[in-house]
Copies of this chain bind each other. A is one copy, B any other.
Amino acid sequence: CTLNCHVFQESLLSSSSGYSNYRGILNWCVVMLVLSNARLFLENIIKYGILVDPIQVVSLFLKDPYSWPAACLIIGREPLSVICYCRTGTISKTTGLILHILNLTSMLILSSATALTVTSMTPVGGVISLGVYTVLFLKLYSYQDTNRWCREIRQAKAKKMTRSFSYMYYFVFAPTLCYQLNFPRSPRIRKRFLMRRLLEMLFLMQLLVGLIQQWMVPTIQNSMKPFQEMDFSRMVERLLKLAVPNHLIWLIFFYWFFHSSLNFVAEMLQFGDREFYRDWWNSETVTYFWANWNIPVHKWCLRHFYKPMLRNGVNKFLAQTAVFLASAFFHEYLVSVPLKMFRLWAFMGMMAQVPLAWFVGRFLNGNYGNAAMWISLIIGQPIAVLMYVHDYYIIHHVNTT
């Protein structure tokens, strides 16, 4: 090299060089994200000071500390619904079916009626109690369905399959929506695993509340003015500003609920099947995302809704659309009733997944499909959030002043 230090060669970034190792770019992305968000965090603290306030959280659940309507609704109604099912063996099949349908519909209607009429019920309390009833609805539907299948097999095989009241209650608390006669059980409770999940639950709960108070609430409050004035470029800017904390909160919520909480409950109950989510972060189609981020609900939909429809001769696309329709109904139900406001934004958001899934599946694949999934997730949610908050704000703040 001393005399001749040049040889004939191409630059690495020229396509003719055939070079393709950009491993460092991933680290670059991570560093840039951490630094940009550190700045946003610092800007937020400078602008608003510390807004995290644990006392304020309590007031979300209870307006009047002496009447706890949401808690009463959960504690009072639940055992009634469950007890009904323990003696189904002693009454006739038709009577049982009628009682079953009555019980299920009454669960959804009565709980929503309570949420709508009791004025001391806060939106957060409402979401939680309605969520509990929706879960119970799905569980009891699955219980009845599975028992019906068992009876059909029993008639052929003449084998007895009854279960105790305690097993019924085990199913109610188990982290699954699908009933089966013998759940797989883990051999023992791993104390360290349990403690780690518990600490995660407590820490992430605090983090979620802190992020919402410190980051979401001021951003949403700042968004109200552009949305009332219909200033389009500012609306987009606010939407993108809201998208980052909203998405981080959703990711933390996902981990908190589907990993920490469900694993904690499962470990406590020695419930063996821990598949609460699959690798949705790699999904290249919208359908794959919906089929893999929430396995308990997906399993229920597949077992008690989609497959029975296929067995009854419904075509695949129609059955898929029907699943999205049911999901859209429950999303709307869980948002509209506690807010006492019927706007169909959540319903439309879920139904928009059908054409989106078709578009992504038809035109995009590989990393482009994956990026489309992320964009729809990151952008779609804050649009719905802003819609509801905007309408809630108009009703509760503009009309009263």
Query: Does A11 contact B237, Cβ atoms closer than 8 Å?
Result: no
Whether a CB of chain B sits under 8 angstroms from the CB of A316 is no
Bound-state CA distance A234–B46 (Å) is: 7
| CB of A182 to closest CB in B, whole Å | 7
Residues of B contacting A279 in the complex (Cβ-Cβ under 8 angstroms): 12, 19, 21, 24
Residues of B contacting A255 in the complex (Cβ-Cβ under 8 angstroms): 13
Query: Does B26 contact A29, Cβ atoms closer than 8 Å?
Result: yes
A18-30 Cβ-contact flags toward B at 8 Å (1 or 0): 0101111111111
Residues of B contacting A65 in the complex (Cβ-Cβ under 8 angstroms): none
Instruction: Tell me whether A233 and B42 are in contact in the complex, defined as CB-CB below 8 angstroms, given that A1-B303, A11-B259 are known contacts.
Output: yes
By beta carbon, the residue of chain B nearest A284 is B24
Whether a CB of chain B sits under 8 angstroms from the CB of A150 is yes
Option from B4, B185, B273 in Cβ contact (under 8 Å) with A180: B4
Query: Does B29 contact A282, Cβ atoms closer than 8 Å?
Result: no
Query: Does A3 contact B146, Cβ atoms closer than 8 Å?
Result: yes
Query: Does B11 contact A241, Cβ atoms closer than 8 Å?
Result: no
Query: Does B2 contact A149, Cβ atoms closer than 8 Å?
Result: yes
Query: Does A9 contact B274, Cβ atoms closer than 8 Å?
Result: yes
Residues of B contacting A150 in the complex (Cβ-Cβ under 8 angstroms): 3
Query: Does B240 contact A27, Cβ atoms closer than 8 Å?
Result: no
Instruction: Tell me whether A263 and B11 are in contact in the complex, defined as CB-CB below 8 angstroms, given that A5-B178, A244-B32 are known contacts.
Output: yes
Query: Does A24 contact B281, Cβ atoms closer than 8 Å?
Result: yes
Question: 3 closest A-B pairs (Cβ-Cβ)?
Answer: A29-B29, A39-B240, A6-B273
Selected A-B contacts with CB under 8 Å, 6 pairs: A3-B149, A4-B182, A12-B277, A24-B279, A27-B370, A35-B379
